[in-house]
Amino acid sequence: MTALLDIEGLTKAYPGVVANDDVSFSIQPGEVHALLGENGAGKSTLVKMIYGLVTPDRGTMRLRGAPYAPPEPRAARAAGVAMVFQHFSLFEALSVAENIALGMENPPKPRDLAARIREVSETYGLPLDPFRLVGDLSAGERQRVEIIRCLLQDPKLLIMDEPTSVLTPQEVEILFHTLRKLAAEGTAILYISHKLEEIRALCDAATILRTGKKVSTCTPREVTAAHMAELMVGKSLSVPARDAHEPGAVLLAVAGLSLSSGSPFGTSLRDVTFEVRAGEVLGIGGVAGNGQDELLAVLSGETPVAGGAVTLKGVAVGTLGPNARRERGLLCAPEERLGHAAAPDMSLTENALLTGRKRKALESRGFVDWRRTRDFAEDIIARFDVRTPGPGVAARALSGGNLQKFVIGREILQDPTVLVVNQPTWGVDASAAAAIRQALLDLAQKGAAVIVISQDLDELLEISDRFCALNEGRLSPPRPARGLSMEDIGLMLGGAHDMHEVAL
Amino acid sequence: MIIDPVTLIVALITVATPVLLAAIGELVVEKSGVLNLGVEGMMIMGAVCGFITAQQTGSVALAFAAGMGGGMALALVFAVLTQVLMANQVASGLALTLFGLGLAALLGAGYSGLPVPSVTRPFPEALRDIPVAGPILFSHSILIYIAIGIVAAVWYVLTRTRIGLVIRAVGENHDAAHALGYKVVRIRFATILFGGACAGLGGAFLSVVRVQNWFDGMTAGAGWIALALVVFASWKPWRVLLGAWLFGGIAALQLRLQAADVGVPVALLDASPYIVTIVVLVIISSDRRRAALNAPAALGRVFHASS
């Protein structure tokens, strides 16, 4: 049998970095093939070459035996290659049908297209209303739009870039059901993920990349997740740990918080109530877009609320702004690193000043003490293993993981009473993620209260004492994290949106 | 009162047309995600090019073509600056206005007060003599009907056709449009040129049809009102028409009030079309969530096809 896609010696170099170095592998029809690797291992560049977004420097591809070198995505789609992007390439202000029409070469009339969308979505168990605005859909539903857009082109190879990072466990099950059905019909699937258990459940073969090179292949069902992790990282990883302890006094309490969102696609918070105690890690799970950003803005002081809605050590702080809250010990690290947690074009020293100004006494009488500020930045760099030439480097120049270590380190070294982090390890590679989690646990160990907002449920189960879920702006009552199963959590997250009628 | 509603309506349609043409062009530009603040400059270039051509050739059709050409030439400068050289759109647009005003003054020197040919009216005398409906519906120059036709065409293309969908997609999320294989820069070039042609045509209408004269700075902020109209009309073509007629109506009315010598300061009357238009459109678009929904999300952002 000839392979569906044969990749031979593919190489792509960017200034200063070789993204792919002589990568070769092949995918059979009907095979679910995993592409594994840490951030920066070259997975994205590789699939972009297959999808025609990037032209390789060297190497050849063959699709069903014929030479294949797509100059642009249009050509790739015409050849039967479709891709579901990690960051959805959708248009929020357009309807589902319009979004799908944009991804087709010769879309039928709107009414016929709507009928076809309904047909395909029912065949594959992905219910979707063609006339709803994409901006009103949940992350799982948006992914269905992308998948249906691909399926309408009847692809021979479907590329999926980290498809499950935004889904609830139940939605993941539905997705896998769809993918298995597609594979059974002969469609090959190239599946990129770093969730190893998922890959063991779904994939027939795996190719592992490290720093742009293919380092290994394996059959995921026959090896352990830990073994694959070691192949990816090149060393074994330690699991974060800390001693058992009793939680102390309540440090931060939020009571009856409701807030309507000002933007068309934002989420309103509804009657959010919780408290965190000294030495405790509270995990807040949930799929992105269910109120996480709004909740963080309320806690940080970017969105002021009624005074009594947020209390810090018994004092009402709801009306205070971010700087006043920082002075009192409530620190936050938002999700978006470039532009929210850090100013991209300013140096690390300047970024250290931005939140550490008061608590680290980096200024006196309105003048900045640059020496102290630089010392603070260097301290963060040294203590949190931030890989950078020095504190004078612009924040933009750091990789995502390194900047995240800097951002989290900057808050932790200010010795917070309460620290709120949103997506602390999003887009961060495994070893840096482990270091960040350990630092959060160490902080709680020293008596601070830590709130971790995250979509990564494994991460929350690993480090939280108590777990609650944010779903459509509502926060579930917290439950002890020990002993919670994925099933329980999925139900807390609201299960799968609109999926009740689908038999699995 | 000496104000005759029929002549007022006829006048308002004429006064509104330059603003309407410029605004409908800018609407398409902004829907594709580009903010061109050079409307005023493109309009006055259209006005001077149209006037000179009309004076030299005696052909009104050529004058309108020259007006569109003048606007497009300036728009081309803007397109190259912002789409190829990736200059800041706000700064480039402001520079374009200043450049256009200066260049038009230079080109138009010596043309003030020269005669231009009159413009044909498409409907026969008999129709125009029908009481009330005749003057309002059939007495205008052909360009006014064309302008309304352009509004209808823009509405149809943007909401009902594939090219309109692609334009809206590019303005909504240029990275996603690029990932799907659409030529973001090429589409934006085309819309910027369309916007320049519309603004230039509006300017030519102003100098050749409405005022039938040329003087420095004759657009008098009409380009800026066009920009404001687009935003406060929530990027909807029919609302732009409504806003332009409202603006024209107040402008025509206040001239008559000035003539009638009512007890309101002249300066306030002069400012009234701008104030009333903006206040009314702000009230119409006061539901911020709905307005934000129609706003092109990528408006004014530089597109860099790096990956």
CATH number for position A174: 3.40.50.300
The pLDDT of residue A120 is: 86
Q: Is pLDDT above 60 for A501?
A: no
Question: Which residues does chain B have within 8 Å of residue A73's beta carbon, measured at their own beta carbons?
Answer: 179-181
Residues of A in contact with B183 (CB under 8 A): none
pLDDT for the residue B307: 39
Q: A472 lies in a domain?
A: yes
How long is chain B? 307
Is the pLDDT assigned to residue A499 strictly greater than 50? no
Does position A414 have pLDDT exceeding 50, yes or no? yes
Q: Does B162 touch chain A (CB under 8 A)?
A: yes
Angle at alpha carbon of residue A412, lines to A410 and A417, rounded to 5°: 130
What value of ipTM does the predicted structure carry? 0.78
Report the alpha-carbon distance of residue A378 to residue A386 in Å, rounded.
9
Buried b (16+ CB within 10 A) or exposed e, A318-354: bebebeebbebbbbbbbbebeebbbeeeebbbbbbbe
* Among chain B residues, CA nearest to A136: B293
Closest CA to A229 of A86, A39, A36: A36
- Most A CBs within 10 A among B32, B161, B166, B172, hence the mutation to make, goes to B172
How many whole angstroms separate alpha carbon B292 and alpha carbon B234? Answer: 8
> Residue A196's pLDDT band (boundaries 50, 70, 90)?
confident
CB pairs under 8 A between A and B: 59
**Residue A220 included in any domain:** yes
Note whether A376 and A471 are same-domain residues: yes
Query: Of A233, A268, A288, which one is at a domain's C-terminal end?
Result: A233
B163 part of contact set with chain A, CB < 8 Å: no
Return the SS3 of A105: coil
Relative to beta strand A157-161, strand A81-84 is parallel
- Is A428 a domain residue? yes
pLDDT at A502: 38
Q: Which of residues 272-291 of B touch A (CB under 8 A)?
A: 288-290
CB A183 within 8 Å of CB A151:
no
pLDDT-above-70 percentage for chain B: 96
pLDDT for A498: 45
CB–CB contact A262 B176 (8 Å):
no
pLDDT for A503 beyond 50? no
Q: How large is the average pLDDT for residues A140-168?
A: 83
If asked whether residues A307 and A270 sit together in one domain, one would say yes
User: How confident is the model at residue B290, as a pLDDT?
Assistant: 63
Predicted TM-score (pTM) of this structure:
0.73
Q: Does residue A323 have a pLDDT over 80? A: yes
Hey, where are the domains in chain B? 5-294
Picking from A77, A101, A264, the nearest residue to B289 by CB comes out as A264
Residues of B in contact with A107 (CB under 8 A): 162
Helix (H, G, I), strand (E, B) or coil at A41: coil
Q: How large is the average pLDDT for residues A25-50?
A: 86
Last residue of a domain, one of A180, A208, A233: A233
Q: Counting Cβ atoms within 10 Å, is residue B298 exposed (0-12), middle (13-18) or buried (19+)?
A: buried
Q: d(Cα B296, Cα B30) in Å, to the nearest integer?
A: 7
The answer to the question of residue A223 being in a domain is yes
- Which chain A residues have a beta carbon less than 8 Å from that of B166? 102
Of the two residues A226 and A416, the one the predictor is more confident about is: A416
Judged on CB neighbours under 10 Å (0-12, 13-18, 19+), A234 is exposed
Query: Residue holding tokens 């830990």?
Result: A226
Q: Is the pLDDT of residue A269 over 80?
A: yes
Helix (H) or strand (E) holding A284: strand A281-285
The confidence band for A237, taking pLDDT boundaries of 50, 70 and 90, is low
Residue A267: what are its φ and ψ, rounded to 5°? -115, 135
Residues A300 and A431 in one domain: yes
Average pLDDT over every residue of A208-236: 82
Residues A275-310 have pLDDT tens digits of 999 999 999 988 777 888 889 999 999 888 888 889
Pairing of strands A213-218, A205-210: antiparallel
Are residues A285 and A228 both part of a single domain? Answer: no
- The answer to whether the Cβ–Cβ distance between A93 and B165 falls below 8 Å is no
Report yes or no on A498 lying in a domain.
no
> Which pair of structure tokens corresponds to residue A203?
């994939």
pLDDT at A198 over 70: yes
Q: Nearest CB to A101: which of B165, B172, B292?
A: B165
Partner residue facing B176 (CB), from A74, A91, A98: A91
Does A464 lie in the same domain as A351?
yes
Has residue A497 got a pLDDT over 70?
Answer: no
Same domain, A277 and A228: no
Q: Is A286 exposed, middle or buried (0-12, 13-18, 19+ CB in 10 A)?
A: buried
In this structure, the answer to whether residues A281 and A191 fall within a common structural domain is no
- C-alpha span between B166 and B163 (Å, rounded): 5
Contacts with A502 (C-beta within 8 Å, 6 or more apart), sequence order: A125, A127, A174
For A177, counting Cβ atoms within 10 Å of its Cβ (0-12 exposed, 13-18 middle, 19+ buried), the class is middle
**Is A382 in the same domain as A455?**
yes
- Give me the number of domains chain A comprises: 2
| The pLDDT of residue A177 is above 60 | yes
Q: Please check whether residues A400 and A446 belong to one and the same domain.
A: yes
Range of the domain at A156: 5-233
Of the two residues B200 and A396, the one the predictor is more confident about is B200
Q: Read off the amino acid at residue A57.
A: D
Q: Is residue A243 part of a domain?
A: no
User: Could you tell me if A58 and A100 lie in one domain?
Assistant: yes
Contacts of B177 in chain A (CB under 8 A): 91, 102
| Mean of pLDDT over chain A | 85
Task: For residue A426, give the amino acid letter.
Answer: W
Tokens in use for A102? 């944009």
CA distance A225 to A157: 26
B133 inside 8 A of chain A by CB: no
A146 — pLDDT class (breaks 50, 70, 90): confident
Residue A241 in any domain: the answer is: no
Domain B5-294 classification at class level: mainly alpha
Q: Check A94 against B180: CB less than 8 A apart.
A: no
> Is the pLDDT assigned to residue A217 strictly greater than 80?
yes
Residue A213 gets which letter from DSSP?
E
**Higher-confidence position of A393 and B151:** B151
Q: Please list the ranges in chain B whose pLDDT falls under 70.
A: 1-2, 287-293, 305-307
Residue B181 to residue A101, Cβ atoms within 8 A: no
The answer to whether residue A497 is domain-embedded is no
Q: Specify the pLDDT at position A449.
A: 93
- If asked whether residues A229 and A255 sit together in one domain, one would say no
Same domain as A369, residue A448? yes
What is the average pLDDT across A328-355?
Answer: 89
